[in-house]
A and B are shown apart, each in its own frame.
Chain A
C-alpha cells in the first residue's frame, strides 16, 4: 500500500496561508489523495480529496503535482482554530469499498 511522508510539525501566523506538503511517491494511478485533520482527542474531520486535478472547497485547496508523487494542502487564511494534526492519506480501493491509509501527520500550530 502506498505510504505518505509529511513534516512532523509546522507553524504559521494567523491570517496567513498555511501550506502543508505531502510526499506519496509510490501512489498508484487510481489512488486518491485525501486530507483529514484531527483536533486533540477528537475524531478526524474531512477536508478535501483529489485524484489528478487541483481541488478547492470552502475549507482548503489541494494542489497535486503532475506526476502525482506529492501534493500540498493550502489553508488560505489560517485561524487559531486551524491548529490541529493534518493527515495526508492515500485511499486504496478494494472490492466494493476502500480503506484510508493514514500518514504520520503534520502538527500545525497557528500563532496569534
Chain B
C-alpha cells in the first residue's frame, strides 16, 4: 500500500504563534492532497484540497488566511496554522491520492495540535 506520513505527530504551541504541519507521500506521487480536521469524538471535516503547483480549494467556513496550505511538490504539502488560538486545538489529518488508484485516499497518521 501507499504510505503517507505527517510531521510532527504532536505539537504544543502558545496562543498567537504559528505552527507548520507537513504531509508527505513516501512511496508515490500524489496527484491531490487533502487536509482534514477532527475534534474529539467527532467525525473528520474536510478543510481544503490542493494540487501540486495550484492554489488550494478551501471548504466553506475555513479561513484561507488562517490555514495556509502550500503544495510545493508531488510528495509534499504543508498546512500552517497562523496565529493559533486554543480553539484551533484539534487532530489534523492529511490524505493523498495517486494517479493509478485515484479512487482511494491514503491517510496520514494525523497531527495532534494543542494550543495553550
Contact = CB atoms under 8 A, between A and B. Distances in A.
Nearest to B51: A97
A43 B104 contact: no
B91 interface: yes
A43 B43 contact: no
Contacts of B107: 36, 43-45
* Tier of interface size on chain A: 20 to 34
Contacts of B4: 43
Given A43-B108, A43-B110, A97 B32 contact: yes
A42 B109 contact: yes
Nearest to A99: B46
Interface in A79-112: 87, 96-97, 99-105
* Tier of interface size on chain B: 20 to 34
A41 B39 CA distance: 11
A46 B104 contact: yes
Given A97-B49, A97-B51, A99-B49, A44 B44 contact: yes
A103 B104 contact: no
Interface in B30-68: 31-32, 34, 42-46, 49, 51, 59
Interface in B94-111: 95, 97, 103-110
A87 B93 contact: no
Contacts of A41: 91, 110, 112
Nearest to B44: A102
A68 interface: no
Given A43-B4, A46-B105, A97-B51, A103 B110 contact: no
A24 interface: no
Interface of B: 4, 31-32, 34, 42-46, 49, 51, 59, 91, 93, 95, 97, 103-110, 112
11 contacts: A41-B110, A43-B108, A44-B44, A46-B106, A49-B104, A99-B49, A100-B34, A101-B46, A102-B43, A104-B42, A105-B43
